[in-house]
Structure 1
Amino acid sequence: MEQTQGMADETRHPMTGNRLDAEAEASGPGFETHDYDVVVIGAGGAGLRAAIAAHDAGARVAIVCKSLLGKAHTVMAEGGAAAAMGNLWPDDNWKVHFRDTMRGGKMLNNWRMAQVHAQEAPDRVLELEEWGALFDRTPDGLISQRDFGGHRYARLAHVGDRTGLEMIRTLQQRAVALGIDVFMEFTVTELCKADDRIVGAVGYWRETGRFVVFNAPSVVLATGGIGRSFQVTSNSWEYTGDGHALAMRAGASLINMEFVQFHPTGMVWPMSVRGLLVTESVRGDGGILKNSDGERFMFNYIPDFFKAETADSVEEADGWYEDKKNNRRPPELLPRDEVARAINSEVKAGRGTEHGGVYLDIASRRDPEFIRRRLPSMYHQFKELAGVDITQEAMEIGPTCHYVMGGVEVDPDTQQSSVDGLYAAGEVSGGMHGSNRLGGNSLSDLLVFGRRAGECAAENAAKHSNERAAVPDSTATAAADAALAPFAEEGGENPYTIQKDLQDVMHRLVGIIRKREELVTSLTELEELKARAEHLSVEGNRQYNPGWHLAIDLANMLIVSECVATAALEREESRGGHTREDFPMASDEWAQINLVLTYDGESVGLARQPLPVMPDDLKELFD
């Protein structure tokens, strides 16, 4: 293959160092090649932690990311990282955290992943502190921990409401100090196999359109979620389901894809920022939800599962309810799925705000100094984008597509998929959160399973050190040809039109409340979109061409959207992030079943799979 390194006529981007090759268009696909032990796709918390772990295990590592280093969506995670450190509540421990996580996921979680996460999260947070993360402190100098929905104890280690940003800053600084290679503004279009195992990947520089081949026996997917398939989302532009689709095309399976979490609180006004996340920390620090009548409505939506048995357990005047353990808790800190459904019900009943949301009020509960100190990002976000001073008035908020619990089916200890050499960590992997993720578990999930994925990927690479297979020329050429196809199509569809129609289908028919007729219709309309997407046209050349980038992303978005709709139609119950209007109750039968999805190159296949059996000693925690 052609090597483009060292070409005399190349210049480099002043910020990224990526090649700006004036001959890229004329030279056809053209490949530069790189050899690594481990290639990590994604530079968020999971990707960076995996890369650091693989490097520390002796592997030659490359990080590949669609945007600039430091811009990954993890920076938007505000509340904190859940870890049972016991700094505020000495009774907190991994068993309580494990139980909270399983209950939050409505017991559909992979128990082993939930156990590993709860046991290892404290060490991963302390490790971040050792690397320079500046967490908020208790008066005694320990890492401070805040309350969050679904957690029995306050256990989120945090940095104001900018925890994700601090995590990325710390991990990025360490990765750079270790000298790990980073390929920024780069899209991976295909994972490559030989003899049924991973041998590398093919992708292209987003700046120049020049194609690159990575030869590597281990690939770690850390690409995040799928939110850009929905109309209203808190997710960044990168979240187009790339890792999910890459894994499926390589032969891996997905699990739990029907479970899409709609975060209860996203901005609803102005339209330019609709869906932008309003951290759960606002409610954790005392914020309450009100409808347009001024009623604090969450007391009307406390499930019996969470309430104490006594008839007078709800003390609305005092602002609390008593849970099964007789702990007094605000109803705003119920799990996210419960809060999102409650808000959706209030809006549908005509008690919503002018712009279709509800009010989140912390101004009447805390003084301005406290709000500005504890929630600096929220204060500036609303002040600058919506003209709202949250120390003086309530915020207009509503549910926004936030997180997908489903993802690549992985081994709970190694994070390897069913494809030899392919690993996944973070939001792109499935199983850990069951049907609903508790707030704060995502950041500790990134650390725990990012580390495990990196270590195991490096171990796999060492195992194949004497039998390295390269990406076949024919495979690389086929991947490049497929990516370039929209340039050859004349008079075809505009990628932006199909993306808009896809988001409309998912919003209307596969949203927060679902029913059979709409899901059947969604699959029909998705088939029509897939047929239209076979004839995409893009204009211009390969340099800086966002229409071309979207055309490639659309293939991934359509596969993943079909997975969500297919699984949502199959699961005839309501559980966690999946609510069926025609099956409003959780089912004992479905409580024992995971849905697994595969892809044959044309359509999505589905199979039912029994849950892994939890050991008796862990079952006793729920007695």
Structure 2
Amino acid sequence: MTQSTGQQSSSIQDENSVGQNPHSRPTEDDTRVSPDVDYEGVSVPVLIIGAGAAGARTAIELAEGGVEPLVIGKCDHGDAHTTLAAGGINAVLGNRDPEDDSQIHAADTLKEGHFINDPDGVETVANAMPDRIRELEEWEMPLNRTEDGKIEQRYFGAQSFRRTCFVGDRTGEAILETLISKAQELEIPYRENVMITKLLSDGEQVYGAVGYDMDDGHFLRFEAHAVVLAAGGYSGLYNRHTSRNEENNGDGPALAYDAGARLMDIEFVQFHPTGMMGDRYGEDWDGRLVTEAVRGEGGRLFNAEGERFMEQYSPEQMELDARDVVARAIAQEIREGRDTENGGIYLDISHKDREFLQERLPRMYERFAELGVDMAEEAVEVAPTAHYGMGGVEVDFETGATAVENLYAVGETIGGIHGANRLGGNSLSETVVLGTVVGDHLADESYIGSPELPESQQRAADEHFRALKALSSEGSEDPQKVLQALGDVVEESAGIIRTEETTNKGLESLEALHNRADDLMAGERTSRSFEYAIDLGFSLTIAEALLKGARERTESRGAHFRSDYPEKREAWRKNITYSQTKEGMTLNTTTPKEPSEAVRKALDADYELDYHQLE
């Protein structure tokens, strides 16, 4: 890896263009000469954007294959969104239920995804996970154990058998700690607090990326033979969500889309049934995840009238039915007035012993205790909250490649694995499996010499840096307020229940928000305000895709529920794709492939969780 500083001259757009918008694509017919632009230049074989589990596992595979990547993250090292994935990671081990197998895992995933998942990707994850979890075990991940020393496995919603491995209720944190320890052992280079704002692409090939150092504000230009996007999803578009404010704002998919890649399935957003209610616990906790592990360990849902209402909605699977089913049931109870004073319902696991909660759910127990609630004595208040975007970048699951040469994607940035609704415990599985796939593929490539940046991309980088400078010094709108307004639009227009009317209204509102976004006063590049301004550009792109897809899909499937089209339609067993064309964002459809014969047999066997085994 080489580093240098550079100063170059290039042209800019005319005064009537959108030159102040750092997310706009530079033109090729510029004629005006710009001032010099200062930046730090970095040259690497493979640039990995995102430092969570997916990025870390990709980097490990590359390093073990003899290629030194550079991993960059927006937060401090070890503080990626993976740490918030609490409940577990799926792998067929048969330690509790020997009759389970990888074909049944794949079948459960396809059923939960309502059969618009990519079956190749699904089978890749299900088949590889036993090896990946044993690998994490070898790397000293402190997994919970059975009495005879095997890896413990718990129930998770909509799974036929106990296959979710866990470390109490801090599984994601434990996985990331394990992967970072391995990466440090391999001396993999890492840069923290770096925000990537644009990929350098001509629409056919990616050559690197540009961004800035969030600590001191200086510009960065990365040249790379290959770029891997592992930057998260887009559930943070909603004001009430389980992520931290700086995460899952759509930057991964938006960067890929701007570079020329196709997106898919953006209309599918999973609303986790149990997010904390802000009025009782404070605004900082509003929407934060109460892990599915609470229900997996026997937690029960009650409305304000004391009724265990899942008996009416799902008498067989109860609280462990699919997340979309449970979330809509809770929403229905709230709409019909059987909610708490704070607008939620109750999640109660007080029938379990205190010692059990402290062992199996230590993070949840401690969190609520600090907020004055004893889970061993009383229920907690919850309501649905945006949690996960099933859509993302369209990739080839054999390699992780996008439609743009040298651009790869992995983790929550991609679509295809989860279909219309994600099976709980599969997100962490996807990161370690597909990170290995992408890393293995890229390690087989030959990277000779330093990557070269074409002159057109040098000009594009300078143009973008000038736009970032303008963003920091001009305009009148507060980026955080515009982001808040965007969150309101998305929640009102594409929440748990959507209609043609709400999506049309949302798209109209986006036009006004775009106008406000062209007049931002972001402040210094080291400020949170400037970060929000960059996030806003990404979020507007993905919000447009979300609303257009939700309007286009005239049916209800998985997490996408249209009250004006409440039934699932076979004609819509399709994926919506999103492409950037001269006409703007263009939507098309593709038909998913059929699963393998072995998985079809597992589907025909119709395995299903019997919740009452927990009683």
TM-score normalized by structure 1? 0.89
Q: Paired residue for 2:297?
A: 285
Q: Offset of 1:229 from its aligned partner?
A: 1.2
Q: Offset of 1:618 from its aligned partner?
A: 3.4
Residues 293-332 of structure 1: pairs in structure 2 closer than 5 A:
293-302=305-314, 314=315, 321=316, 330-332=317-319
Q: Paired residue for 1:265?
A: 274
Residues 74-89 of structure 1: pairs in structure 2 closer than 5 A:
74-89=82-97
User: For 1:145, what is the secondary structure of its paired residue?
Assistant: coil
Cα distance in 2 between the residues matched to 1:458 and 1:488: 43
Q: Offset of 1:615 from its aligned partner?
A: 3.9
Q: Paired residue for 2:392?
A: 407
Could you list the per-position Cα deviations for residues 311-369 of structure 1 after superposition, in whole angstroms to 9, with x for gaps in the alignment? xxx5xxxxxx3xxxxxxxx4100011110000000000000111111100000x21111
Q: Paired residue for 1:457?
A: 442
Cα distance in 2 between the residues matched to 1:135 and 1:531: 50
Cα distance in 1 between the residues matched to 2:149 and 2:287: 36
In 2, are the aligned partners of 1:2 and 1:31 still within 8 Å (CA)?
no
Residues 196-595 of structure 1: pairs in structure 2 closer than 5 A:
196-236=204-244, 237-268=246-277, 269-272=280-283, 273-302=285-314, 314=315, 321=316, 330-363=317-350, 365-384=351-370, 386-460=371-445, 462=446, 465=448, 468-470=451-453, 472-490=457-475, 492-539=476-523, 541-542=524-525, 544-591=526-573, 593-595=574-576
Tell whether 2:126 aligns with 1:140: no
Q: Offset of 1:538 from its aligned partner?
A: 2.4
Q: Offset of 1:545 from its aligned partner?
A: 1.4
Q: Offset of 1:209 from its aligned partner?
A: 1.2
Tell whether 2:126 aligns with 1:118: yes
Instruction: Give unpaired runs (5+ residues) of structure 2.
Output: 7-34, 605-615
Q: Paired residue for 1:3?
A: 4
Could you list the per-position Cα deviations for residues 282-331 of structure 1 after superposition, in whole angstroms to 9, with x for gaps in the alignment? 101111000001000001112xxxxxxxxxxx5xxxxxx3xxxxxxxx41
Cα distance in 2 between the residues matched to 1:229 and 1:615: 36
Cα distance in 2 between the residues matched to 1:553 and 1:67: 14
Q: Offset of 1:483 from its aligned partner?
A: 2.0
Cα distance in 2 between the residues matched to 1:502 and 1:408: 22
In 2, are the aligned partners of 1:29 and 1:210 still within 8 Å (CA)?
no
In 2, are the aligned partners of 1:146 and 1:157 still within 8 Å (CA)?
yes
User: Root-mean-square deviation (CA), in Å?
Assistant: 1.8
In 2, are the aligned partners of 1:133 and 1:167 still within 8 Å (CA)?
yes
Could you list the per-position Cα deviations for residues 582-622 of structure 1 after superposition, in whole angstroms to 9, with x for gaps in the alignment? 1111111112x110011248842111112223344433332
In 2, are the aligned partners of 1:574 and 1:586 still within 8 Å (CA)?
yes
Q: Offset of 1:55 from its aligned partner?
A: 1.2
In 2, are the aligned partners of 1:156 and 1:440 still within 8 Å (CA)?
yes
User: For 2:576, what is the secondary structure of its paired residue?
Assistant: strand
Further displaced range: 27-36 or 41-50: 27-36
TM-score normalized by structure 2? 0.90
In 2, are the aligned partners of 1:255 and 1:596 still within 8 Å (CA)?
yes
Could you list the per-position Cα deviations for residues 209-255 of structure 1 after superposition, in whole angstroms to 9, with x for gaps in the alignment? 11111111111111111122101000122221111100000000111
Q: Paired residue for 1:8?
A: none
Residues 153-232 of structure 1: pairs in structure 2 closer than 5 A:
153-193=161-201, 196-232=204-240
Could you list the per-position Cα deviations for residues 119-155 of structure 1 after superposition, in whole angstroms to 9, with x for gaps in the alignment? 0011111101111101011112111011100110011
User: For 2:126, what is the secondary structure of its paired residue?
Assistant: helix
In 1, are the aligned partners of 2:104 and 2:599 still within 8 Å (CA)?
no
In 1, are the aligned partners of 2:555 and 2:565 still within 8 Å (CA)?
yes
Instruction: Give unpaired runs (5+ residues) of structure 1.
Output: 6-26, 303-313, 315-320, 322-329
Cα distance in 1 between the residues matched to 2:85 and 2:203: 40
Cα distance in 2 between the residues matched to 1:281 and 1:616: 32
Cα distance in 1 between the residues matched to 2:581 and 2:443: 29
Change beyond 3 A, Cα 1:140–1:536: same
Letter in 2 for 1:399: P
Number of residues of Structure 1 aligned to a counterpart in Structure 2? 569
User: For 1:469, what is the secondary structure of its paired residue?
Assistant: coil
